[in-house]
Amino acid sequence: MKTFENENYYQILQVPANARADEIKHAYRDSLAIYEAESVATYSLFSDEQRERLLQAIETAFDTLVNEEKRNAYNQMLIDTGQVDAAFFSRQGQRKSDAYCDTRTLSNEKRLSQWVQKKADTPEIRQRIEAILSREMLSGLELKQLREAYGIDIPEIHAVTKISGDSLKRIEANQFEDLPAEIYVRQFLKAYADVLRIDSGHVIDSYLKFMAQAKPDTDHDRA
If one compares 88 and 98, the residue with the highest pLDDT of the two is 88
222 has pLDDT over 60: no
Q: How far is CA 61 from the centre of its chain?
A: 16
What is the distance between the alpha carbons of residues 78 and 65, in angstroms, rounded to a whole number?
13
Residue 30 has pLDDT above 50, yes or no: yes
The CATH homologous superfamily of the domain defined by 122-222: lambda repressor-like DNA-binding domains (1.10.260.40)
Q: How many CA atoms lie less than 13 Å away from 107 in the CB half-sphere?
A: 13
Question: Taking residues 74-82, what's their average pLDDT?
Answer: 90
User: Over 60: is that where the pLDDT of 179 sits?
Assistant: yes
Neighbours of 31 (CB within 10 A): 22
Rounded mean pLDDT of 168-186? 92
Cα dihedral 96, 98, 102, 104, rounded to 10, equals 60
Rounded mean pLDDT, 213-223: 57
Q: Binning pLDDT at 50, 70 and 90, where does residue 173 land?
A: very high
Averaged over 200-215, what is the pLDDT?
A: 92
Q: Catalogue the long-range contacts made by 28-37 (C-beta closer than 8 Å, 24 or more residues apart).
A: 28/58, 28/61, 28/62, 28/66, 29/111, 29/114, 29/115, 30/111, 31/58, 32/58, 33/114
Is residue 27's pLDDT more than 60? yes
- DSSP-derived letter for residue 82 is T
Name the amino acid, one letter, at 218.
Answer: T
> Residues 196, 147: contact at Cβ < 8 Å?
yes
CA distances from 72 to 14, 75, 172 (A): 18, 5, 31
Which of 12-16, 71-75, 91-95, 172-176 comes out lowest in average pLDDT? Answer: 91-95
pLDDT band at 88 (very low <50, low <70, confident <90, very high): confident
For 35-68, how does the pLDDT look when each residue is reduced to its tens digit (9 = 90+)?
765 554 455 566 778 878 888 899 999 999 989 9
- Most confident listed range (100-104, 107-111, 178-182): 178-182
What sign has the CA pseudo-torsion 202, 204, 207, 210? negative
Note the residue count of the chain.
Answer: 223
**CA gap 73, 66 in Å, rounded:** 12
Where in 91-175 does DSSP place strands (E)? none
**Nearest-angstrom CA–CA distance, 2 and 81:** 25
Q: What pLDDT, in 10s, does the model give residues 104-153?
A: 444 567 777 778 877 788 888 888 888 888 889 999 999 998 888 888 88
Which of these ranges, 5-9, 69-73, 202-206, has the smallest mean pLDDT?
Answer: 5-9
- pLDDT given for residue 107 in this prediction: 59
